Amino acid sequence: MAKATQYVSKVADEHGNIDWSDEENKIWHELITRQLANIKNTACDEYNEGLAKLNLPTDRIPQLEDVSKVLRETTGWECAPVPALIGFGEFFRLLSERKFPVATFIRTREEFDYLQEPDIFHEIFGHCPLLTNSSFADYTQAYGQMGLNATKEQRVFLARLYWFTVEFGLLETPKGLRVYGGGIISSPTETEYALTSDKVERKKLDVLDVLRTPYRIDIIQPIYYTLTKVSDLDNIRKYEVEDILAFVEQAKSLGLHPAKFPPKEEQIAS
């Protein structure tokens, strides 16, 4: 999280509002209308229920307070404006306080289809609808509490738990595969790939297994972990922090699974 970024978050005025440009609002409009069509039959029911509650505008970037008002009324969460990149400590602290960090910038047209930094579209459209769901909301707060109690080395392992649930989680439902992870929901390419590709591995989520699974942030994922419904996250949340950290130590002892992708240097060289 300490890497450099070209983006700078916007600062709100004294009323908490951000003055977005016409071009920024247009980018939001194009992103959200494209993805609304893309996830119509692929996002999970819990996400769609939350999306309806938020009633996000399609013609402009929403003000954070408008989103926070709905979150407070449903699960006690709120959006917290942050710089483009924040440290792990601040990230975990905010989550533990039921404050979801939202970087107040939107991607440029040059990175319209993909960017590594989470922008306001990814955070609001990808994650905030599910924060109206009590199971997802409580799990996300519990994850923040895990991180606050972890060492720097343990946090590296814990990052995988967030990655394979909050960011890239899938559900095996009676209706078929559905998406709940925000990293998939906010990406048309990843949505199609995660649900339809015969080249990916989809595995039932096991905490220890997840903690041992390497990932890269700059590629389409080669593996996804599945639950049956979002409320299955309660089974992870009910572990004591000490139990999760014991899993982390076990994962460290056993070592990582072989990566299902080439090293970054090898991919660039090819």
pTM of the complete model: 0.94
User: pLDDT means per 10 residues in the chain (270 residues)?
Assistant: 76 93 98 94 97 98 98 98 92 98 96 90 98 98 97 97 98 96 95 95 98 95 98 96 96 96 60
What are the respective helix, strand and coil percentages of the chain, to the nearest 5?
A: 50, 10, 40
The pLDDT value given to residue 106:
97
The pLDDT value given to residue 115:
85
How many domains are there within the chain? 1
Residue 128 within a domain? yes
Residue 14 within a domain? no
Residue 202 within a domain? yes
Residue 13 within a domain? no
Pairing of strands 170-173, 223-227: parallel
Task: Identify the domain containing residue 227 by its residue range.
Answer: 22-254
d(CA 5, CA 32): 23
d(CA 10, CA 148): 27
CATH number at residue 175: 1.10.800.10
Residue 143 within a domain? yes
The pLDDT value given to residue 148:
96
The pLDDT value given to residue 3:
58
Residue 17 within a domain? no
Beta bridge partners of 78: 99
The pLDDT value given to residue 267:
43
The pLDDT value given to residue 85:
87
Contact 230, 46 (CB under 8 A): yes
Residue 133 within a domain? yes
Residue 46 within a domain? yes
